[in-house]
Each structure stands twice: as C-alpha cells, then as structure tokens.
Chains A and B, each alone.
Chain A
Amino acid sequence: MQPPAASVEIEIRNLSKWYGTHQVLKALSTDVRRSEAVVLIGPSGSGKTTFLRCINLLEPFQEGEIRIGGESMGYQTDATGRRRRRSERDIARLRAKVGMVFQSFNLFPHMTALKNVALGPVRVNGMARREAEELAASLLARVGLADKLDVVPGRLSGGQQQRVAIARALAMSPKAMLFDEVTSALDPELVAEVLDVMRQLREDGMTMVIVTHEMAFARAFANRILFMADGKILEQGPPAELFGDPKTARLQAFLKRFREGHQL
C-alpha cells in the first residue's frame, strides 16, 4: 500500500461496522482525492448509506479509520493501545469539515431559509450574525434561491428545500460533501434542479461522495463509481468501465435489473 498522496481528502482504511453480531460493513478501504466525485451504487441493504453516514460519524463504527484532510475522524488510540471515541467537542469540529445532505432534507422548519443556512456559521464558527446572513444570502443565490431568503421550508418545494439544505452544508466551508440519495424524495420534475446544483459544485472543484439510485446521473457525473454489495466494495472504477464491462456477476445482475426497469 502506497502512502496517501497529498491530494487525498478522505482516506478510509479497513472500515468495519456491526449491528450486534451482524456485520454491515466489511473492511472497506478507499481514498477520495480532492475534487473527485465518487458515486456509490449497489442494491438496497448493501451498506451504501451506512458507509456514507460513517464518514461524518452519524454512525459509529467498530474498526478501521477514516481521515479527513489527514485528521482521524471519530476515534483515537490512546497510549495503552485502546481505541477510544473522541470527545464530542472534537467530533463536532470534525463534522463541520464534511457537509451532509439528506434524502429527507431535514431543514429546520421553524426558521427561514436564510436562518437555516446562517445557523452553523453563527453557532459553530462564532461568526457575527450579520456576516453569517450575508454569507447565507450569497450561498442561497448560488443555488438559485435569492428570492426565497425569508421563506420557511414548509412553503418551499422539495427541490427548493434540498437546495437550501445544500447551501446550509456549504456554509460551513466543508472540505467534502456527502449526498445521501438526495433526489429520492423528490417529484421527478424537481430532480433536475438539484442535480444542476451538484454539477455546478463539481465544476467548482468540490470533493463529493454520493449515494444514488439515479444510474444515468451516476454514469454522467462520477469520476469513479464504487459498487457495493453485502457490506463490501465489489468493484470500482470509472463509469465507462463499470457500466461497459462489469467484472463481477453481482454487478452484471444489478445493471441488468436496472436496464430492464429503466432506460440507461
């Protein structure tokens, strides 16, 4: 194994996770380079979402290591060799480095779009409210919502809510962004506006890890695709390679099912 290059943003080594005795992630290892867009695909229950949630520690994991920008994410080994969870203060600080966008948006319903986005900078970075709201306004403009600053989430469409959620994550100036099936809860006609924002982020050089069921999007968008099944990465490579010449029987079967159901 070669030492990680300087441009590696997310480093994952032998990540394993169990629910009780059931192992859901089996010694996953991969590096995500700066500005790379990595897309996770695989059947339901393969561990994609769990894997993604481990990266910013919404899920604890029992073995292995995740490093963001060189810093170990959730756990440290103390002098006696025992593995310990870091303090909540440390974990919160590290989480702020990784933006996360959820399938169900999870916007704060009692706050306007502007306040949703400004909350993190004010409460985590100690930014002055006025400054944070200027930042929030510029980010909301960037995702095409300059005219919705004072609107509460309940009055926004799903696509608009998801764009606010992206702006909220960007407000923390993350080193990488995680997207967990961000278009799955959207009406079909609203999917494009969210994907457009993601494309724009990619052009700006954002490092991204994406879980999706949108195969056409995955193929067009990813630098690299990871195919997961049963908690393992079975295959990975550029989209053309995985979709054009799948090596494993599992991936062949997975793609075949998709071709039967969808236009690919």
Chain B
Amino acid sequence: MDLLIASLPLLGGGVWITLQLAVLAAIVATVLGLTIAFAQLFGGLVLRIVAEAYLYIARGVPLLVLLFAMYYALPYAGIMVEPMSGGVLVIGFYFAAFMADVFRGAMLAVAQGQWEAGRAIGLRTPTILVDIVLPQALRVAGPPYVNTLIMLVKGTSLVSVIGLSDVTFVGRQIIERTLAPFEIFGAVAAVYFVICFALSRCGAYLERRASFVH
C-alpha cells in the first residue's frame, strides 16, 4: 500500500500523458474520420480512391508497426517527429479509419426516402444533410463511436514502446525499481478500466437515446 502511495505522483504524471494523448488523438480521429466518410459518400472519383486507399492501409497495418515506422523509420528520411505529437498523429490517423466506417455506416443507415422527401420540398443537398440526415445519423453513430473511442484509449498504451511516458510506461519503470508487478500493473489496469468504464456508460446512455419512437 505504501508502495502504491509512493508511486502516485509518478503514476499521476503517466495518467496525464495518457489522457492528453487520448483526447488529442480522439479529436484527430473524429475530424479526419468525418472527412473521409464525406469524401467516400460525396467525393469525386479521385477523392473516393484516396479515401479507400487510406482505409485499406490503416486497417491492414498494425498500430504498433505504424508507431515504429513513425519513430524509427522517419528519422532516416530526415523527418524528426517529437514523440507526443507523433503519437497523437499516428493514433489519430489509425483510428480515423474506424471512425470513418462508423460515420459512413450511420449516414447510409438513414433511409433513402429521407433524401427524397427533402428534395421533393425543394431542399438542396447541404440543407438535407444538416437538417435531416446528420441529426439522424449521429444518433445511430453514437454507440459505435464510443466503442471506437474505447479502443483508442487502450491503443494509446502502445506509445510506451516509443518512449512516451504514459501510464503504461511509467508503470513499467516503477516495477523495474520496486519489483512489485502485481500492485503496479493492477493500478495501471485500473486507470484504463475507469476511463473505459466511464465511456461505456456514456455509450449505453446514447444507445437508449438513439432509438426513435416507433
């Protein structure tokens, strides 16, 4: 117990890094994911091809490999990336692919008749999107969006291998000094669990609100 209390300042610093990383990467993933979904649905041929190619790469290469590539390979090309911003970008880019699927699926889930009803009263595409399709799509997207966020939070633990002192990295350091893996890893796991549990509850709430009265 004393050991845990003594480790708190260090662990706290790690939690702070993890939270920063998760929030910033989530913002990157959300914005980029929406952009890709729009490109796929409304873009011209070139945009659609670029978006598809991006999705296949992000889906087909492990996050860890992408992080290694950013941290170890890019410097050979003369590009130095600071670990924090590099981590945010790689995690953000990686999860943007899953976000794109969430948003695209949600928009496709809105019935075609909604578009037609909007067109029939003389509305144009941007108005139909903003007033009719997106409000419905975002309700559909809520729960899977939260799921993806949870994956992202847990995914941030991989940055510990590129030297970022997130909560996983700090935990390992403390264990090396104290040789108390059980307590420390228990605390680290609890940190992730608490964040993800809170997100899950948000997801469940969104799910209850998602269905329209039928």
Which chain A residues have a beta carbon within 8 Å of chain B's beta carbons? Answer: 56, 58, 88-89, 92-93, 95-96, 98-100, 102, 104, 106-110, 119-120, 123-124, 152, 154-155, 165, 168-169, 171-172
Report the nearest B residue to A152, measured CB to CB: B213
Query: Which residues of B sit under 8 angstroms from A109, Cβ to Cβ?
Result: 136, 212
Instruction: Give which listed residue, A104, A110, A119, contacts B121 with CB less than 8 A.
Output: A119
Report whether A168 and B121 are in contact in the complex, using a CB–CB cutoff of 8 Å.
Answer: yes
Instruction: Check A100/B214 contact, CB under 8 A, given A88-B125, A119-B131.
Output: no
Query: Measured between alpha carbons, how far is A124 from B119 in the docked complex, in Å?
Result: 11
Q: Which of B113-152 contact A (CB under 8 A)?
A: 113-114, 116-117, 119-125, 127, 131-132, 135-136, 139
What's the Cα separation between A169 and B116 when bound, in Å? 12
A58 CB, min distance to chain B CBs, angstroms: 6
**B135 touching A106 by the CB < 8 A rule?**
no
Residues of A within 8 A of B120 (CB): 56, 58, 95, 98-100, 102, 169
What are 5 inter-chain pairs, A to B, with CB distance below 8 A?
A: A92-B119, A93-B122, A95-B122, A152-B212, A155-B213
Inter-subunit contact B121/A106 (CB<8 Å): no
Instruction: Tell me which residues across on chain B come within 8 A of A169, comparing CB atoms.
Output: 120-121
Partner of A110, one of B124, B127, B135: B135
Across the interface, A58 reaches (CB within 8 A) one of B114, B119, B212, B214, namely: B119
On whether the beta carbons of B114 and A108 are closer than 8 Å, the reply is yes
Given contacts A106-B113, A106-B114, A154-B212, contact A124 B136 (CB under 8 A): no
Contact A102 B124 (CB under 8 A): no
Residue B194 interfacial (CB < 8 Å)? no
| A154 in complex: contacting residue of B111, B122, B132, B213, CB < 8 Å | B213
Which residues of chain B are near A124, meaning CB under 8 Å? 121-123
**Which bracket fits the contact residues of B?**
20 to 34
Could you tell me which B residues sit within 8 Å of A by CB distance?
A: 111, 113-114, 116-117, 119-125, 127, 131-132, 135-136, 139, 212-214
Complex formed: what's the CA distance from A96 to B132 in Å? Answer: 17
How far does the alpha carbon of A168 sit from the alpha carbon of B120 in the complex, in Å? 10
Contact indicator B121/A96 (Cβ below 8 Å) = yes
Say how far B121's CB is from chain A's closest CB, in angstroms. Answer: 4
Distance to closest chain A CB from B131 (angstroms): 6
CA distance A152 to B116 in the complex (A): 19
Residues of B within 8 A of A155 (CB): 213
| Cβ contact within 8 Å between B212 and A89 | no
Whether A172 touches B113, Cβ cut-off 8 Å, given contacts A110-B135, A123-B131, A154-B214, is no
Known A-B contacts A109-B136, A152-B212, A152-B213; A172 and B122 likewise in contact (beta carbons under 8 Å): yes
Whether the pair A102, B116 counts as a contact (CB closer than 8 A) is yes
| Cβ contact of A106, chosen from B111, B124, B213, B214, cutoff 8 A | B111
With both beta carbons as reference points, the residue of chain B lying nearest to A89 in the complex is identified as B124
Which single member of A56, A92, A110 contacts B123 (CB below 8 Å)? A92
The residues of B that contact A165 with a CB separation of less than 8 Å are 117
Partner of A95, one of B114, B119, B212: B119
Q: Give the Cβ gap from B126 to chain A, nearest Cβ, in Å.
A: 10
In the docked arrangement, what's the CA distance between A93 and B119, Å?
10
What residue of chain B has the Cβ atom nearest to residue A101's Cβ?
B120
A152→B211 CA distance, assembly (Å): 13
Distance of A133 Cα from B121 Cα, bound (Å): 16
* Minimum-distance CB pairs A-B, first 8: A96-B122, A154-B213, A106-B117, A120-B121, A106-B113, A100-B120, A124-B122, A109-B212
Give the chain A neighbours of B113 by CB distance below 8 A. 102, 104, 106
- Min CB distance A211 to B, Å, is 15
Chain B residue with the shortest CB-CB distance to A119: B131
Chain A positions within 8 Å of B124 at CB level = 88-89, 92
